[in-house]
Structure 1
Amino acid sequence: MEFTIVAVTVRSITIELDNSEIYQSQAVHDYYIDGRMRLSSDRNVVSIIGLLPDREYELTVACGADTGKKSFRTKKESVLLNVKKFGALGDGKSIDTDQIQAVISSCPADGTVYFPKGTYLMAPVFLKSHVNLWIDNEATLLGIPDRKEYPILPGMVLGTDEKTEYNFGTWEGNPLDSFASLLTAINAEDIDIFGEGVIDGNAPAGDWWVNQWEKRGAWRPNTIFLSGCKNVLLQGLRIQNSPSWTIHPYYSENLKFFNLDIQNPPDSPNTDGFNPESCQDVTLLGTRISVGDDCIAIKSGKYYMGVFHCRRTKGIVIRNCKLERGHGSVTIGSEVACGVENVRVSKCIFEGTDRGVRLKTRRGRGEQSYINDLEFENITMDRVHMPMTINMFYFCDPDGHSDYVQSQDYHPVDEMTPRVGHIALRNITVTGADASLICAYGLPEMPIESIEVTNLHATFLPPTQRTPQVPIMMDNFPQMSGQSFYLRNILKARLEDVTVEGSSDTSPEAIGVKELITNQVTYN
């Protein structure tokens, strides 16, 4: 039995099976701690909560006669502070914000703030370096619906020297005033947030989703916002009903998100599940996401941040996740002014999303906006309408429908021109495709550099079940139904070991593709 211990906190552990199966195993595995069975699961990534700190344990993983053992030691803990000892009631009616903030603020380094069973009605609280949160089973952190109770984070504050800028709030890639999030961490490090409880943004109880594009006091909050943070772990929790983006790491590094369940209603606006922005070394494992917008959206800001505070997003690992119901399963962009590179997505299920792999950019993102070195491997897509789209004419922002953004004619390359580099898809199985399989449209003046598709096996819905749709959000682009490959303005495209069943065409459509290599491409 091969497995890896991927995280150990003061009171929990996360284990990942080393197998070839995607997201979950065909067989149930049993997990023993010191000979006592603690968990049975068919998931490839599991977490065990409720251990003791600073203690040596033996972990045994068994599946029938196949077993494996490893020893590990939990982290040291200075103190365990129960929020109810500080006056929090957890009755779902009393507001517990001040009591919870008091526990966090007074907790010594390497201490843990503990939430026992209860519903803790609260406004945003601010986390502290070297202080952990344990949200136990049947404990819920519930956001206050009234936006008047939410502090405002100014978008950009000028330093006393009148030169240095300090960024606090952010909204869709720009440094704009926004409300603080239910859990907010700014310039904090070494924080583990774990448990089997719930973090509930409680957006349906307020007016967060009413006139959602209207700024009222400030822009809508996330549920969890990590700004300028290092070494943060979230593990085991359910996070739901977010006012906008659910988990938003921002200008942060060395972050781990394991075994989360992120849920927002299908009609909830702008409620992306997971949005790392200008972050480095981020790992998402064993997580299920079902939301009202993109499940995962990897970003790096708009033009102002790209010029004055540029930090590229890189080193993103997404593995053994299930991404359901959303506009995109894994999206890059469209706010990518600082660029995105080195993204690895593997062993994931994309199910019921509008698009699977989705890249969005446009003229105006700037010359630092280089999306490159993206690899998607061992992915199954079921009932994903458009499994892959690359759109360099994305019509976002006030000028999104202008001739500058939407013109399909050649424009001179300048400091506002974005780039898309190399993207690879390997070992992909698609069932129930609808409008198109791969639709990629580069700029005429800056073609997509390289698309590699290897070992792709795709089946379309029957014609009577398909709905003609526009695959990419740009002006004057036609609806498609059952189209296999639409490739335009690309330097090099390689299609190898590709099988397409049930499409409305019998060959790729390539326009302005300098080099198209096809090897064992079969249409049935």
Structure 2
Amino acid sequence: MQWHAVNITATTITIELENESCYFSDQTYNLYVNDLLMYSVTTNVFTISNLKANQEYKIKLVTEDNTSENVQILCTHSESAVLNIRDFGAVGDGEHSDTGAIQAAISVAPKGARVVVPKGVYRCTAIFLKSHITLDLEEGAVLLGNCKREDYPILPSKVHNTDRNESYCLSFWEGEPAEAYASLITGIDLENVQVVGTGTIDANAGAGDWWVDCKTKRGAWRPRTIYLVNCKNVIVKGVQIKNSPSWTIHPVRCQQIQFINISIENPKDSPNTDGINPESCNDVEILGVNFSLGDDCVAIKSGKYAVRPSVVIPSENIKIRNCLMKYGHGAVVIGSEMSGGVKNVCVEKCFFMNTDRGIRIKTRRGRGSTAIVDSIYVKNIKMDGVLTPFTINSFYFCDSDGKTEYVWSKEKLPKDERTPLIGALTFENIHCINTEVCAGFMYGLPEEKIRSLSFSNIHINYKEDAQADYPEMLSFQDKLVRSGFIFKNILKLRLNNVSLVNPLGEALQLENIEDYLVE
């Protein structure tokens, strides 16, 4: 039995078990801290909280039958100061507005300090973080979003830098600069920031009108719950986040960011409440996150073609591991706003449960020639109740022009600067049960075929009473039920040890495949 520390702060240690199981541990372990039994461990990633700064701790994991143990000595980090928001006037009764007190504590915190939110319900609007601090939500602490949109400041889409005669983008909405309400937790141009603890960030969207007429811009576009722009070295760990007005966590143009062992919960019918949407970000780790929401669990993006006058920025070097994805439209999604491209993504040891789709790539003509999806690697995944486990849709019909013939035409059109490209994707060791719609729906453009698809050790078992539905969102597509793999417009396709149990109809439907091998 092996384990390692994946993250240490002044008050927390997060551990990851080394095994081949998906999200849940292969067996139950007892956790001891300084020889005191703390609790039983049932997931591969877990966090020990409420520790003291700059102290050594003896961490021991023991199998439930006491046949194996692993002990390590770890030291928490130091901190410069501790500030309690109640000392700044925060009330925490759920009625009083505590925005000013929380903001004051953050504003005066020295470099390396920890701002503590103790037990209580703190009603607030947008809180703006600053660099080199930790925001610590203790057990029983709730940051509760004010439900009145007029109480939130508005972030303009851009501000002008007179020295450089250029614009600085502050606010984005669905891949383009656009004014939006500031988010409950907002960070602009930050570095070395941590949001940790066992408390809750409740944006309280259902108590207001954020989910009403949600596609209409009223005053400004909806806020996120956590919104980060041009930030570096940010960690969000341990907290529960719920009831987001729109995308829950939205980092834009950020580097070296980690989301570790958090829980994200939004109602299944809440609109556009994606879990974590890194946009034009580099070096992202999403580890041990429990998702249950109304849209995509993780959606990797990189903007739309309209932002091309500025420098396009890809999303790349993204690791998603040991996560549980429930009830979303897609578990791990790329696109459809991906004009900067998405590269080097690794998804492993995750459990997808009752999502509409598992691994989902969505793009379309008009995203641009820089919209390159490449080097996507997915391995050791379990899926249960996922309607369609694998999809690539090059005809995604959302956006104002999404139903135009240019987007929906299945004819071979001329390639130009608007044509996206899908490169190499590899899938291995994936087990799916209770599949309903389609094993895989992989549909490239005829003028720019998917470069390479590799499937190895894939098992699909269908639900007996499966219901027909659409495998993807594209024009003129019929509903399917217990369909096999559908592959269209692909340069290179490799299938090794791929099995389907009781599909209706053909296991493989192939169209316009240049190089095809089944092993």
TM-score interval, smaller chain: over 0.9
Give 1:48's aligned residue. 48
Q: Aligned equivalents of 1:190 and 1:309: distance in 2? A: 25
Q: Is the 8 A contact 1:136 1:196 kept in 2?
A: yes
Amino acid at match of 2:2: E
Distance in 1, matches of 2:212 and 2:201, equals: 21
Q: What's the RMSD between the two structures over aligned residues?
A: 1.0
Gaps of 5+ in 2: none
Contact 1:253/1:279 (8 A) holds in 2: yes
- Of the three residues 397, 400, 403, the one matched with 1:401 is 403
Could you give the per-residue CA deviations for residues 464-523 of structure 1, whole angstroms, max 9, x where no partner exists?
Answer: x2222221111112221111111100001111101100101233111111111111xxxx
Deviations 1:174-233 (A, max 9, x none): 000011110001110111111111000100110000000010111000000111111111
Contact 1:306/1:368 (CA < 8 Å) preserved in 2? no
SS of the equivalent of 1:504 reads coil
Q: Aligned ranges for residues 121-160 of structure 1 at < 5 Å?
A: 121-160=123-162
- 2:338 corresponds to which residue? 336
Partner SS for 1:105? helix
Q: Output aligned runs, 1:348-497, within 5 Å.
A: 348-462=350-464, 465-497=465-497
Structure 1 distance, partners of 2:339, 2:139, is 41
Range with bigger deviation, 499-508 or 172-181: 499-508
Give CA-to-partner distance per residue, 1:322-359, whole Å, 9 cap, x none.
10001001110000000001111111100000000110
Give the Cα separation in 2 of the matches to 1:495 and 1:355: 20
Distance 1:516 1:439 in 2: 16
Matching residue's letter, 1:114: V
Deviation at 1:161, TM superposition (A): 4.7
- CA spacing shift, 1:306–1:425, aligned 2, 3 Å: farther
2:134–2:194 contact (8 Å) kept in structure 1:
yes
Q: Is the counterpart of residue 511 in structure 1 residue 516 in structure 2?
A: no
SS at match of 1:99: helix
CA drift of 1:82 comes to 0.6
Question: Does 2:36 align with 1:36?
Answer: yes
SS at match of 1:409: coil
Asked if the contact 1:302–1:335 (Cα under 8 Å) also holds between the matched residues in 2, the reply is: yes
Separation (CA, whole Å) in 1 of partners of 2:73 and 2:367: 49
Q: 1:247 aligns with which of 246, 249, 252?
A: 249
Shift of 1:21: 1.4
Q: CA deviation at 1:307?
A: 4.3
Give me the whole-angstrom Cα distance separating, in 2, the residues matched to 1:272 and 1:487: 28
Shift of 1:160: 1.7
Taking the aligned partners of 1:412 and 1:158, their CA distance within structure 2 comes to 38
What does residue 271 of structure 1 align with? 273
User: Pairwise mapping of residues 92-241 of structure 1 onto structure 2 (< 5 A)?
Assistant: 92-161=94-163, 163-241=165-243
Counterpart in the other structure of 1:69: 71
For residues 281-302 of structure 1, the C-alpha deviation after alignment (integer angstroms, 9 at most, x for no partner) is: 1111111101111111111111
Q: Write the mapping of 1:303-318 to structure 2, written as runs, cut at 5 A.
A: 303-318=305-320
Secondary structure in structure 1 of the residue aligned to 2:162? coil
Q: Which runs of 5+ in 1 are unaligned?
A: 520-524
CA distance, structure 2, for counterparts of residue 423 and residue 100 of structure 1: 45
Once the two structures are superposed, residues 253-309 of structure 1 have per-residue CA deviations (whole angstroms, 9 ceiling, x without a partner) of 111111111000011000001101111111111111011111111111111334413
Letter in 2 for 1:391: N
Show the counterpart of 1:289. 291
Does the CA-based 8 Å contact 1:306-1:366 persist in structure 2? no
**Which letter does structure 2 place at the counterpart of 1:29?**
Y
Letter in 1 for 2:459: H
> Partner letter of residue 238 of structure 1?
Q
Partner of 1:522: none
Decide which moves more: 468-477 or 334-343. Answer: 468-477
Separation in 1 of the partners of 2:511 and 2:28?
49
Once the two structures are superposed, what CA deviation does each residue of 1:34-57 show, in whole Å capped at 9, x if it has no partner? 222223211100001111111122
**Contact 2:435–2:460 (CA<8 Å) still a contact in 1?**
yes
In structure 2, distance between residues paired with 1:498 and 1:410: 30
AA of the residue aligned to 2:119: K
With structure 1 as the length reference, what TM-score do the two structures score? 0.97
Distance between the aligned counterparts of 2:308 and 2:37, measured in 1?
51
Moved over 3 A (4+): none
Output the amino acid matched with 1:191. Answer: V
Residues of 1 paired with 2:365 and 2:376: CA distance?
Answer: 21
- Specify the alignment match of 2:349 in structure 1: 347
- CA deviations 1:400-457 (Å, max 9, x no partner) are 0011111111111111110001111100101011111010110111000111100001
2:406 aligned counterpart, secondary structure: helix
Q: Work out whether residues 483 and 507 of structure 2, in 8 Å CA contact, stay in contact via their aligned partners in 1.
A: no
User: AA paired with 1:39?
Assistant: Y
Distance 2:363 2:67 in 1: 51
Whether the aligned pair in 2 keeps the contact of 1:337 and 1:366 (CA below 8 Å) is yes
Q: How many angstroms does 1:94 deviate by?
A: 0.1
CA contact (8 A) 1:249 1:279 kept: yes
Residues 51-83 of structure 1, C-alpha deviation per residue, up to 9 Å, x if partnerless? 111112221121123111222211111111110
User: Which residue number corresponds to residue 85 of structure 2?
Assistant: 83
Instruction: Give per-residue Cα distances to partners, 1:81-126, cap 9 Å, x unaligned.
Output: 1100110000000000001000000000000000111000000010
Contact 1:461 1:502 in 2 (8 A): no
Contact 2:19 2:26 in 1 (8 A): no
Q: Distance in 1 between matches of 2:126 and 2:292?
A: 24
8 Å Cα contact 1:150/1:179 also seen in 2: yes
In 2: Cα distance, 1:179 partner to 1:170 partner: 10
2:92–2:121: 8 Å Cα contact kept in structure 1? yes
Return the alpha-carbon distance in structure 2 between the equivalents of residues 252 and 168 of structure 1: 13
Contact 2:116 2:135 in 1 (8 A): yes
How many percent of aligned residue pairs carry the same amino acid? 43
- The answer on whether the counterparts of 2:13 and 2:49 sit within 8 Å (CA) in structure 1 is yes
Residue type at the aligned position of 1:87: G
Equivalents in 2 of 1:306, 1:84: separation in Å? 46
SS in 2 for 1:308: coil
Which is worse superposed, 151-160 or 274-283? 151-160
- Counterpart CA distance in 1 for 2:394 and 2:360 is 11
CA distance in 1 between counterparts of 2:218 and 2:119 reads: 34
Aligned residue identity for 2:392: I
* Contact 1:305–1:338, Cα closer than 8 Å, also in 2: no
Quote the offset at 1:162 in angstroms.
7.3
Code of the residue aligned with 2:282 in structure 1: it is Q
CA distance 1:307–1:38, shift in 2 (3 Å): farther
